Amino acid sequence: MKTVSTLAIAIFATAGLASGAMAAEEKNFDGAYAGLELGFDKMKVTGAGDANINDKSLYYGGILGYRTQMDNGLVVGVEGTLGDNSANLFENARTKHEWSTSLTLGTTITDSTLLYGKVGYAEVKNKFTPADEDSFSVTDGGWRAGVGAEFALANNISLRTGVDYTRYDSNLKQWQGKAAVVFNF
């Protein structure tokens, strides 16, 4: 988590310094937006009996948010995600879905390129299906941090790539590398 925190602080500091020297001509990262994301998910559970559990899976989900791009290129916003990775945590346990909400801060380095960081809260629902019992679900929440870049293709569509790290209240840790198509309204 220290690496993610250090990286986030460096991006925010760079954003603050760069935004003062730049005036945005176009506001490609302003207003409401929605998108679809796809990526790689790695979940790790430590202290689970005699063995640690590592699961790698495909992540897919949606994004919904709102942001404001200031004249100096600074971009602030809030976004939410809802997705699924269907990770295998134990023999009879899988993740069902996850959601998150985050505050975002970034800066435009050109009219069509945004560098951003985010900090927020995420929750994952895990479904357990023991062989001799009824299935049940457990919800686990934790803090999420992420960094990324977004590239405007036109005034209303952009491509995004980023990495998120989440540490849940249990011994569950999650890394996600994602790419997304974002539509601005």
The per-residue pLDDT for range 56-65, each reduced to its tens digit, is 888 999 999 9
Least confident of 15-29, 98-112, 125-139: 15-29
Q: 81 - beta bridge partners?
A: 63, 100
Convert the pLDDT of each residue in 33-49 to its tens digit.
999 999 998 888 776 55
Domain ranges of the chain: 2-184
Phi, psi of 158 (to 5 degrees): -145, 165
Average pLDDT of span 26-32: 92
Inter-CA distances, 148 with 99, 107, 112, 116, 167, Å = 18, 11, 14, 5, 18
Selected residue with higher pLDDT from 126 and 173: 173
Summarize pLDDT for 11-26 with one digit per residue, the tens.
454 444 444 434 446 8
Q: According to the model, what pLDDT value does residue 169 have?
A: 82
- pLDDT score, position 94: 67
pLDDT band at 114 (very low <50, low <70, confident <90, very high): very high
CATH architecture assigned to 2-184: Beta Barrel (2.40)
What pLDDT sits at residue 136?
Answer: 66
| Cα Rg, the chain, nearest whole Å | 18
